[in-house]
Amino acid sequence: MTQAVPVSAEAPPAATPPELAPARRLRWLLGLGPLLALVVAAVLPYFRLPLPGILDGVFNSPGNLQLLATCLVFGGLAASYDLLFGRTGLLSFGHALYFAAGIYGTDVLVTRAGLPLWQAAVFALVGSTTLAALLGAIALRTAGIAFAMVTLAFAQVGAILVARDFGGLTGGEEGLPIGGAGLPDFLVGVANTVNLYWLALAYVAVVVFVVARVAGSPTGRVLAGLRDDERRVGVLGLDPYRYKLVAFTLAGGLAALGGIVYVLVVGGASPHVTSSELTLSLLVMVVLGGPGTRWGPVIGGILYMYLDNRLTNLATDLPGPLSQPLFVLGAIFILAVYFFPGGLASLATRVGPIRAAFTRRQPRTRS
């Protein structure tokens, strides 16, 4: 008889191949990247960093912090629009309406009605989200260009109501500065601009988190299917209308939340936020950054607003058509789309193969 060879109760764990260990560490570091970026952005106002040519004066001056807060708000707003355009395939020309509803709803309730800010913000957010659900339920009965035109018509109605100043609530063409006893002290005054910066940073984090969770959920996979081929989703027995309405309502609510933050950052409401041109700017931001990506629309929104502000200040010293900020912005957008069709988010995937081609080792020759 042959004697059995004893086997240990626990097999030793399989060793990780050496070539896979760096890849795992890289993925782990990339996973921590957003959190590290958020922490760095939160602590930057504590440092008096001089950034000549990029910002005027030091980083944590009130003017620079307000500019960066505005850029952050539009980064989050572009990400909310990408939930419609990049992830669901809905081309809406009325997304600015819900942003304006959050702005004017909060401003009117605080300034005219005298409500505390937190109550006004809750009422404005709920009302704007309900408005998005109602108008979306009507607009989504159409598709394609008809859908875009219906959303544009709703936005134009909102712009007319604000400009005509019905009931003396909106201030008409002059806008409506926010003020009153309802505003907390830590959000009022130049010295508290840093708090507005942190508030805008928190808004971006919330929007990115919500959009990422939706994109990674079963609902997000259905939305991606609607973007690629709506008929296939219908064949599977799912209701495309219901899923598109969820995306439309959620995007409108996130835009309204951005409006609540924006009215605090700029100190009031102005009619330009109701224009359809703002939605077109959001479309440019999303395309510039990369539609359907996590960070592309945020980067596109921040970069667009930064360039729009800086070029307005610097363009007066430039000759010829370069003195027009829109001309420079248009040229930058054309070049970006031409060289990076997938937006700035595709920069890493395009640079990686080029770098690998230059660093690829030559095959060894046998002696």
How wide is the angle at C-alpha 36 spanned by C-alphas 351 and 359, nearest 5°?
25
Instruction: Please write the tens of the pLDDT for every residue from 3-35.
Output: 554 544 444 555 555 555 565 665 665 567 778
- The domain limits of the chain are 57-275
The whole-number pLDDT of residue 283 equals 92
**82-96, 269-283, 298-312, 347-361: which has the highest mean pLDDT?**
82-96
Average pLDDT, the chain: 85
**50-54, 207-211, 287-291: which has the highest mean pLDDT?**
207-211
The whole-number pLDDT of residue 123 equals 97
Question: How much is the average pLDDT of 214-225?
Answer: 93
Statement: residue 193 has pLDDT above 70? yes
How wide is the angle at C-alpha 75 spanned by C-alphas 264 and 182, nearest 5°?
15
Instruction: Please write the tens of the pLDDT for every residue from 125-158.
Output: 999 999 999 999 999 999 999 999 999 999 999 9
Cβ atoms within 10 Å of 131's Cβ, excluding its own: 20
Statement: residue 1 has pLDDT above 50? no
The residue ranking higher by pLDDT, 2 or 59, is 59
pTM: 0.85
Question: How much is the average pLDDT of 104-111?
Answer: 95
Distance CA 22, CA 27 (A): 9
Distance CA 287, CA 82 (A): 9
Instruction: Please write the tens of the pLDDT for every residue from 284-331.
Output: 999 999 998 988 999 999 999 998 888 776 666 666 666 666 777 778
The whole-number pLDDT of residue 315 equals 61
State which H helix or E strand residue 265 sits in. Answer: helix 240-266
The whole-number pLDDT of residue 256 equals 97
Least confident of 101-105, 200-204, 285-289: 285-289
